[in-house]
Amino acid sequence: MIDTSPAPLDTALGKCVVALQAPSQQQEEVIEALRAAYGLEGSLIDRFGTLDTITREDVYAHYRQGFGDQLARELTDYSWQPQMKRVRATDRALTVPDSVGVLELESDRALVAWIPPTPFRRQWGAPRCLIDRLVRDEGRWIIQGREP
């Protein structure tokens, strides 16, 4: 007898196996919001990294475009160098993931799984699969926190 069952998914990825599947149109909006949020650190450095005119409040406002209040504060604390009054240009805390999938999607919240790039995982000791909680805030998706 020939086995016609689908091939098993990569169980080493756990819930991140959804990141290997094609997203629906609804899921694509959430995925793009997550990627945009994780790109904020890079755009902050590119835009303000060499300027002396940026303030801590500017950095916080920049991160609030894609993150909830608490995460934006933590990222600001990491990125802002108070002694030099500018942003940190090395050792980025964020990376834009290539492989992203949606585990749950409702009208105002979502769980999104993503696979960090290998160099990022090695640098920060990150697991192979990360799951973020997103919420709708004033009509846009923002990252509210990470699931354990």
> What's the confidence (pLDDT) of residue 81?
86
pTM: 0.85
Enumerate residues 6+ apart whose C-beta is below 8 A from 115: 13, 16, 19, 97, 98, 99, 100, 128, 129, 130
Confidence grade of residue 19 (pLDDT, cut at 50, 70, 90): confident
Q: How far is CA 67 from the centre of its chain?
A: 9
